[in-house]
């Protein structure tokens, strides 16, 4: 970023987005130890479209496996 913009006092960064990304990274790396953003006082992350889709697909696969198990 040019020094003029930094020194002008104008902030062109989306600090909330960076904060969200850092929390995602921290949960990914430290999640095995039970770390969550809620422990720092933040709201839980809302699930995105791809996460919702992945969850629905996992349910479908489990249903298929269970129906195959019943057939045998």
Give domain limits for the chain: 3-71
The predicted pLDDT at position 50 comes to 65
Cα separation, 3 vs 39, whole angstroms: 37
pLDDT < 70: residue spans in the chain: 1-13, 47-50, 72
| Collapsed DSSP state (helix, strand, coil) of residue 41 | coil
pTM, full prediction? 0.47
Residues in contact with 38: Cβ distance below 8 Å, sequence separation at least 6, in sequence order: 44
Mean pLDDT (the chain) is 78
């Amino acid at each position: 970023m040019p020094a003029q913009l930094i020194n002008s006092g104008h902030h062109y960064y989306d600090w909330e987005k960076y904060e969200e990304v850092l929390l995602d990274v921290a949960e990914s790396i430290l999640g095995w130890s039970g770390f969550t953003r809620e422990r720092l006082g933040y709201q839980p992350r809302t699930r995105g479209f791809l996460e919702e889709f992945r969850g629905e697909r996992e349910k479908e696969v489990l249903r298929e496996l269970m129906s195959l198990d019943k057939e045998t």
